[in-house]
Structure 1
């Protein structure tokens, strides 16, 4: 299916009836030959935009999959690149494809909702993974991304404009989400992948609540729709630098007015 190297319909069906983690373990060897893999033109456009925002030292690819986003980080980060995913199969593929050029690459198996890092990164990116989280999980996910960024660091990811109801793509995604909801209602474990649940307005609101300063910029490489809105945006959420406490001047007294002897 998709290409001679891609998964068969039967393999996709087995994946869809598994958990998210095990399903991607099964799909990993052929994932790069499916439409689910972020296309290279989008990765290149994000890398170009991030170069204008940088420079960055240490970068993290959240839910890195087979490592396509690691190539972006290798182009914009100077010191280190880390990929994190909870699928061992996807990480195995990412490990084999990691190039020798650029900063050193580390791969970590963990849950994006419980990151095993302190504030160690200047840049966190994610490509095509946020549809695997339910809307109610976004606050935890964004709080985790905020916690691993150094003050002033950025969390960046591309968002595609939703298709119009008059287009076949709209009904295809609507049908896909409906099938997934029926599947999860009657089959366990659930497989979370909802394309239409990830809405830009909701995302911006939750990023603001997590403590980010958020802006978007058009990726003009993909043009604009008839109404002038961009087809693809890059969301850039910046962790606000912590305010520095004012140093007490000579003769300053404690806030309670007491005087130390």
Structure 2
């Protein structure tokens, strides 16, 4: 990521005091030069795993942003791929740098505007912190509705930071700052990544009609206890 091309502190402050949608509209032109974009090693590891499970027909990138996950879909899907997001600014950036083989749809993913069983594969990268825990069951039900039987819903999940580590305190500090911000400022900017716990998410996916499997993304390394630093959650519609 290039700091010189990324957003200034003032631009980040303006974004942080906006709604989620407007904040990403503002950030869109420089989003790909921030640490928020899913890094290539994660995308490559997910692509490798999905290739072993595919190929697939049509694919959807849920909360696609500027389209970091679109090349993953194009690598493993035979048919047309689609990106959906509620930020017009992020979609405009994605649309400007890809060809017409991708459909870019502006919509709230909590009410997906697609026919039942429209896709064979849905992926998502780094978006779930923007949904409150109470919203996830409805979101997962929406994803299930656009997948046919046997369709897959895949997304990477990093191992939680160990209590007391730098990563733990950094994430806790960020989460606390966001909660304080939302307590005193409107509109809210929802971004609570500590609420996305794998055990809870696995149960919610099962309740939505999925069978859940976990795949270690070994390219991203292992922790001292030999557990993977990142897993790919693959939920299969049943």
TM-score by length of 1: 0.89
Q: How does 1:35-74 map to 2 (within 5 A)?
A: 35-74=35-74
Please name the residue that 2:146 is paired with. Answer: 148
Is the CA contact (8 Å cut-off) linking 2:119 and 2:151 kept in structure 1?
Answer: yes
Please name the residue that 1:77 is paired with. Answer: 77
Residue 228 of structure 1: CA displacement?
A: 1.9
RMSD of the TM alignment (CA)?
A: 1.1
Please name the residue that 1:32 is paired with. Answer: 32
For residues 14-57 of structure 1, give each alpha carbon's deviation from its aligned partner in whole angstroms, at most 9, with x where no partner exists. 00100000000000000000000000110011011000001101
Please name the residue that 1:6 is paired with. Answer: 6
2:180 to 179, 182, 194: 182
Residue 110 (1) aligns with residue 107 (2): yes
Separation in 1, partners of 2:231, 2:34: 23
Is the CA contact (8 Å cut-off) linking 1:67 and 1:97 kept in structure 2?
Answer: no
User: SS at the partner of 2:175?
Assistant: helix
For residues 181-224 of structure 1, give each alpha carbon's deviation from its aligned partner in whole angstroms, at most 9, with x where no partner exists. 00111111100011211111111010000010001010010121
1:165 to 149, 163, 175: 163
For residues 93-145 of structure 1, give each alpha carbon's deviation from its aligned partner in whole angstroms, at most 9, with x where no partner exists. 00012147xxx210100001000012100000000001110111000000000
For residues 62-112 of structure 1, give each alpha carbon's deviation from its aligned partner in whole angstroms, at most 9, with x where no partner exists. 000000101110111111100000000000000012147xxx210100001
Give the number of the structure whose alpha-carbon radius of gyration is greater. 1
Residue 12 of structure 1: CA displacement?
A: 0.5
User: SS at the partner of 1:164?
Assistant: coil
Separation in 2, partners of 1:215, 1:138: 18
- 5+ residue gaps, structure 1, are 241-261
**Count of aligned positions:** 237
Separation in 1, partners of 2:189, 2:81: 29
Separation in 1, partners of 2:48, 2:219: 10
TM-score by length of 2: 0.97
User: SS at the partner of 1:48?
Assistant: helix
The answer to which structure has the higher helix fraction is 2
Please name the residue that 2:226 is paired with. Answer: 228
Residue 166 of structure 1: CA displacement?
A: 2.8
Separation in 2, partners of 1:215, 1:133: 22
Is the CA contact (8 Å cut-off) linking 2:54 and 2:76 kept in structure 1?
Answer: yes
Q: Which has the higher contact order (CA 8 A, sep 6+)?
A: 2
- 5+ residue gaps, structure 2, are none
* Structure 1 residue ranges (4+ consecutive) displaced by more than 6 angstroms after TM superposition: none
For residues 153-173 of structure 1, give each alpha carbon's deviation from its aligned partner in whole angstroms, at most 9, with x where no partner exists. 000000001111232111011
Is the CA contact (8 Å cut-off) linking 2:41 and 2:220 kept in structure 1?
Answer: no
